[in-house]
Amino acid sequence: MLKNLVIVESPAKAKTIEGFLGKDFVVKSSYGHVRDLNKTQLSVDIENGFMPQYEVSPDKKKLIAELKKLAKDTEMVWLASDEDREGEAISWHLFEALGLKEDKTKRIVFHEITKTAIQKAIENPREIDHNLVSAQQARRVLDRLVGYELSPLLWKKVKPGLSAGRVQSVAVRLIVEREEEIKNFESSSAFRITAQFTFEKDGQKHQLQAELAERFEKEEKAREFLYSCVGAGYTITAIEKKPSKKSPAAPFTTSTLQQEASRKLGFSVANTMRVAQQLYESGKITYMRTDSVNLSNLAITMAKEAITETYGEKYVKTRNYTTKTKGAQEAHEAIRPTYLDQPEVKGSADEKRLYDLIYKRTIASQMADAKLEKTQVTIDVSTNKKQFTAKGEVILFDGFLKVYMEGTDDENGEESNHLLPPISKGQQLNLNEMIAQERFTRHAARYTEAALVKKMEELGIGRPSTYAPTISTVQKRGYVVKEDREGTVRNYKVMSLKKDKLSEKTASENTGFEKSKLFPTDIGTLVNKFLCQYFEGIIDYNFTANVEKEFDEIAMGQKEWNLMISEFYGPFHKKIEDTTENAGKFSGEKLLGTDPESGKNIFVKVGRYGPMVQLGDTDSEEKPKFAGLRKNQTMETITLDEALDLFSFPRTLGNYEDKEMTVAIGRFGPYVKHDSKFFSLQKTDDPADIETERAIEIIEAKREKDRNSTIATFDKEPDLKVLDGRYGPYISYKKKNYKIPKGTDPETLDLEACMKIVDNPDNAPKKRFTRKKSSK
DNA sequence: CAGTGAGCGAGCTTCCGCTTGACTT
């Protein structure tokens, strides 16, 4: 009989811990949650105290059976899931699903994976905290109720297949509102005056860059100022020195790792997590989904040693960081290298780069402050009362800067603090050139994925394990797109004073260029408008923070979980019913104008398949005509002329092989149709310009490509083909695809062998899991 | 992925938070 069975959440953790515990312990993993609400129905019994109806998750059936068998023959089961709300619930679900006995079960927790921490945990077991489990249950039920009542309402009122939820809808709101802010932003310009001075000291020539403290809104005033400096002398009248320091940033959490990897390595949030997972699984870093900035004592000791050895003792300053994040649950350590004596690891290029970032951030966090000296120099102008200032910064002691400096999201990095030449008070300066350059104010920056995560974390919305999936969800639903956008050229005025002569010119710059930024789509904007209008409370930025307070009360045993849910659900559900009944279709319909040919109205609106234009009124006798918007068109910017162009399809071309060709625009872009087959246009083709000749070219090019990807065909069975596709060779038969078993050379297949493959159910195409409903 | 859009109505879609692989037709 087995003595001890320990169950943790992650298999990599299980492996490490098993090494610490010795042969009397077997350590297994639950792979996260093991039970959940059924996803095909609400699974919350509203009439009976909102009782959730749990079931073992389909992908956990096998695992639970295994664990159950193991637990039966074990003297003591130790539930060692994380010490937070979700972790406590996982332990309780395991207890229930495995049918454990209280006297044979213990609950233990630890925040760091070290031998002492585990042994201490084993010596201090406790029982499952049912209040904490109730708080998780409240969280789970609330999210289900919100998601599963709001989403169907969107299907009815806006468009099928949409979704809404406590987290994703706020993420979309942030992006939509930022876009509106940008749209309403009015840029203003002012003239910034900079001067380059020279002087000689001890036979050496020096330069000094300075800026006028004041900016001029009007071009005329800037010009006046430059003129006023003609023939002027310049003198340094004050030098002010101030000591300052910089401290290192805290070790990485999930959110800060995503931000830095985005800023410094250009990683998407999903890529960062994928690479971090690989590093974690190969034992190189600690757990990557965490909101804690805490390092274990062991880690701090290791860091101290590494810093002392490489940089010397005066670079060491050990620190304990505390989180400032709202709602942080700190079940894990910060993200750090497992072994701090390893500055480099083997692995893919991405793994190496991400590890390097984690290594440096961790080491720097335990290093001394950088000591600086900031200098401000004041320069008087003899011909007027205005003053220039020059700023400089000297690093007296580099400290942690030797290793790592946190990146910034600030795109207005105009101010540069450079080294100053040897200056002294009273020094006379010569003006080399003075420039007045028109500078424009900038709108707030659009969100990158990582910047959105940062904002969500500030609002306490979402968790480390959901940041990346949420960003992917809002893109999958078509609410948000991640795109590059080209900028526009803008002119600005430059005036220069050199050798007492004024010259003026107009220069141009590219502005508004965006790389990998999040933009709202028409659907995202419309859904946000709908939710703002009818469910302001749910997408309020403080909604999560407020319900979190109540979850905390439940966790402390001060409130019943289902009472909390009931208080929320009453008004919420009433609003759902009201809106279902009283609100009309929410299509964002807008009249664009009238068709000059027929005089009928042309609208733009969201239809069953997305944004479209409509020719003719919905309630008119004659059925209106519809056409979907192209990818680069939006409901807000489409013009009447563009709408009319969309109605010019399908357009008939000449014949080819005695069959008619047409050109049209469909769901997947423009295409040529011939003999009831479809041929997609190239990106460079404009469907408005396609004529017979080009259409034939496109058809022939497609046929050629098909021929090249055909491995074998058979005269006896024209429906069967061996083809080479995206994922390698496969068999196509009667519009269904079959995989070829491993180790079979597709070139050698004859018809008989193919039919054998087709008939073998193992090779049958995978069907989407659909629940069979009993027929009535 | 497959080239639609009213209305009729069946049947489908959907949440957040914990975890990894499987493996694309």
| Residue A111 near residue A328 (C-beta atoms within 8 A) | no
Cα distance between residue A89 and residue A554, in whole Å: 14
* Residue A344 phi, psi dihedral angles, 5° rounding: -135, 155
Q: CA A629, C1' B6: Å apart?
A: 19
Cα distance between residue A20 and residue A22, in whole Å: 6
Q: CA A759, C1' B15: Å apart?
A: 40
Nucleotide nearest to A89 (CA to C1'): B18
| Residue whose Cα is closest to the C1' of B20 | A31
Bigger pLDDT: A414 or A774? A414
**Nucleic chain B: which protein residues 471-500 of A have CB below 7 A from it?**
473, 477
**Nucleic chain B: which protein residues 614-673 of A have CB below 7 A from it?**
618, 623-624, 626-628, 664, 666-671
- Residue A182: pLDDT band (50, 70, 90) is very high
* Residue A715 phi, psi dihedral angles, 5° rounding: -65, -35
| Residue whose Cα is closest to the C1' of B12 | A161
* Residue A24 phi, psi dihedral angles, 5° rounding: -80, -5
Cα distance between residue A525 and residue A507, in whole Å: 37
**Nucleic chain B: which protein residues 29-48 of A have CB below 7 A from it?**
29, 31-33, 36-37, 39-41
**Cβ atoms within 10 Å of A622's Cβ, excluding its own:** 10
Percent of chain A residues topping a pLDDT of 70: 96
**Nucleic chain B: which protein residues 1-30 of A have CB below 7 A from it?**
9-13, 29
Q: CA A685, C1' B13: Å apart?
A: 35
Cα distance between residue A165 and residue A146, in whole Å: 6
**Cβ atoms within 10 Å of A51's Cβ, excluding its own:** 14
Stretch A640-657: mean pLDDT, rounded? 90
| Residue whose Cα is closest to the C1' of B23 | A727
| Amino acid at the residue A703 | R
Nucleotide nearest to A629 (CA to C1'): B5
Strands A601-607 and A590-594: antiparallel
pLDDT of residue A97: 97
Stretch A181-197: mean pLDDT, rounded? 97
- Residue A730: pLDDT band (50, 70, 90) is confident
Strands A610-615 and A625-628: antiparallel
**CB-proximal positions of chain B, under 7 Å:** 1-7, 11-21, 24-25
Distances from the Cα of A544 to the Cα of A51, A52, A255, A441, A568, angstroms: 22, 21, 18, 34, 13
Strands A74-79 and A2-8: parallel
pLDDT of residue A772: 31
| Residue A258 near residue A301 (C-beta atoms within 8 A) | no
Maximal CA-CA distance, chain A: 101
Q: CA A619, C1' B6: Å apart?
A: 8
pLDDT at A281 over 50: yes
Determine whether the distance from the CB of A551 to the nearest atom of strand B is below 7 Å: no
Determine whether the distance from the CB of A738 to the nearest atom of strand B is below 7 Å: yes
Q: H helices then E strands: how many in chain A?
A: 20, 30
DSSP string, A484-536: EE--EEEEEEEEEEETTEEEEEEEEEEE--EEEEEEE-HHHHHHHHHHHHH-H
- Residue A748: pLDDT band (50, 70, 90) is confident
Cα distance between residue A514 and residue A511, in whole Å: 9
- Average pLDDT over chain A reads 92
Q: CA A475, C1' B1: Å apart?
A: 17
Q: CA A631, C1' B9: Å apart?
A: 32
Stretch A628-650: mean pLDDT, rounded? 91
Cα distance between residue A1 and residue A85, in whole Å: 33
| Residue whose Cα is closest to the C1' of B4 | A609
pLDDT at A694 over 70: yes
Least confident of A168-177, A543-552, A605-614, A728-737: A728-737
Q: CA A666, C1' B5: Å apart?
A: 12
| Residue whose Cα is closest to the C1' of B24 | A727
Cα distance between residue A57 and residue A66, in whole Å: 14
| Residue whose Cα is closest to the C1' of B1 | A668
Determine whether the distance from the CB of A513 to the nearest atom of strand B is below 7 Å: no
**Nucleic chain B: which protein residues 327-386 of A have CB below 7 A from it?**
329
- Residue A408: pLDDT band (50, 70, 90) is confident
pTM, full prediction: 0.91
Is A714 strand, coil or helix?
coil
| Amino acid at the residue A719 | D
Cα distance between residue A459 and residue A254, in whole Å: 15
pLDDT of residue A709: 77
Q: Which residues of A are catalytic?
A: 287
Cα distance between residue A112 and residue A26, in whole Å: 19
Q: CA A328, C1' B17: Å apart?
A: 14
Stretch A565-591: mean pLDDT, rounded? 95
* Residue A438 phi, psi dihedral angles, 5° rounding: -75, 125
